[in-house]
A and B are shown apart, each in its own frame.
Chain A
Amino acid sequence: MREELIISGRMNRLVDPVLNIWHWHIPLYLFLGGLAAGILFFAALVTIQGKADKYPTAAKLAPFLTPFLLALGLLALFLDLNHKLFFWRLYTTIRLESPMSWGAWTLMVVMPLSLIWCALNIREIFPRWDWKYPILFKTEAFFKNNLLTISWIMLVFSLILGVYTGILFSAFNARPLWNTSILGPLFLTSGLSTGAAAIVLMSKQQTERNYFARIDLMLIGIEIFLIIHMFMGFLASTQVHIEAAQLFLGGPYTTVFWMFVFSFGLVVPAILEILELRGFHMPHWLAPSLVLFGGIMLRFIMAYAGQASRWLY
């Protein structure tokens, strides 16, 4: 038997007895960032493919959400900081080793891109929109002429944003549950899946809904594969990783994870989407809403469970 006790007393706030430094802000931001990345990715993709008119929700309408999603996420990030007045320090340096620095700079690129995208499609919402100043008309014309270039830049940066939401966690080897390179692809896939779900939710055309439901179905399949792979990797790794996996395999996070993320967030919406594509009548909002719910639960559970996993010595 082995027992380790801190006998001098140590109760540092937010660190003891279990690390609790990150609350709702970080997982909420990771969800919103992933969702925005997914929407922007599909907007860029259908534009590059020349199918913007065939899938107008994906190309033009859904991207209007992204500046708000990103702003909300950034607000959550800002609220999370303990030394708020120094937040600008993020932008006085580029630290290649730090995923958070990468993320801050990526947002610096994605946020303006999403605004440009909205500006280019503003007439979809306000048909009589007038930029008033000639310089703004010229700017619009410039971006319209370079739409393909912008689409490619947005495609790449939305992927970076989506992967980064997972890498932020996976870079911490002090928290074994987070310390898996699967987390980057998993959060990217989940972000793309929630992006597709948001498009299905917003779209009024049957063909567009079916197209993105099919994409979502494929992404859900990949997600399930990645989750199984993640647990296989943990169970074949060191003791601390095995213990991290056991948080979900009999430990305190078992029910919430397998019920809310795996069942209601992945398996059930997948079944609903299959049935709908086969012609059964389903409420259109149900499957995509569940996917969004699963996406947010995945972030929250990984954030909290990760902080509960640790090295023992």
Chain B
Amino acid sequence: MRYAMAVDTKKCVGCSDCVVACQTENKVPIGYCRDWIVEVTDGTYPQLEIEIRSERCNHCDNSPCVRCCPTGASHYADGGVVLVTHEACIGCGACIASCPYDARYPHPDGYVDKCTFCLENRVQKGLNPACVSVCPTKCLYFGDLDDPNSPVSLVLKKRKWKTLIPEAGTDPQLYFLV
């Protein structure tokens, strides 16, 4: 099993619904977020191209955060999802410094927090992650890459895609349809 997510940059309008849904579902403390929207503008007016991306933890296959964690709090859970065990995290910040996507933050309670793909609270109950289920343009696809008929496998077969800074060697599992 290998959970992954695809983001359709052609359909995303940057409404930030995914951000709010995540904050609500995961009780993210006020002032923090686990996912966010990036708008990239290329070119010179009036020849402009815009790409909008809903970004979050890439749940990398070769995660620097899991590698550098001194206590093993950061670990690979079911389906390659990268999680943090709160009671094993000492809050040293090594994983935060090691993430080229800046996807982690220090939770006010002390441990380090990040996107979980809603693994325990939704996915293992048969639901989609909060961000995916709430997206009004249905631009987010989630599923198991080992299942050829999962929404994410199907859309990655059909469309061209890219990942973010693959040259960082992290083998990210957040795919952007272009």
Contact = CB atoms under 8 A, between A and B. Distances in A.
Interface residues of A, number: 47
Contacts of B72: 93, 95
B69 interface: yes
B106 A21 contact: yes
A173 B92 contact: no
Interface string B87-112: 11111111011111010111001111
Contact of B111 (A4, A83, A87, A310): A83
Contacts of A171: 67-68, 98
B97 A8 contact: no
B64 A89 contact: no
A173 B91 CA distance: 20
B96 A15 contact: yes
A92 B88 CA distance: 10
A10 B22 CA distance: 13
B68 A80 contact: no
Interface of A is mostly: loop
Interface in B17-38: 19, 31-33, 36-38
A97 interface: yes
Contact of A4 (B40, B92, B110): B40
B106 A6 contact: no
Given A81-B92, A89-B71, A12 B98 contact: no
Contacts of A7: 14, 16, 37-39, 52
26 contacts: A1-B42, A2-B41, A9-B33, A10-B33, A13-B31, A13-B106, A15-B96, A21-B97, A82-B91, A82-B106, A82-B111, A83-B109, A83-B111, A84-B110, A89-B88, A90-B71, A92-B71, A98-B68, A100-B68, A171-B98, A172-B97, A173-B100, A174-B64, A174-B97, A174-B98, A174-B168
Given A92-B71, A101-B71, 14 more contacts: A8-B37, A9-B16, A10-B33, A21-B106, A22-B97, A83-B110, A84-B110, A89-B89, A95-B69, A98-B67, A104-B70, A171-B67, A311-B100, A313-B165
Interface of B: 14, 16, 19, 31-33, 36-44, 52, 64, 67-73, 87-94, 96-100, 102, 104-106, 109-112, 164-165, 167-169
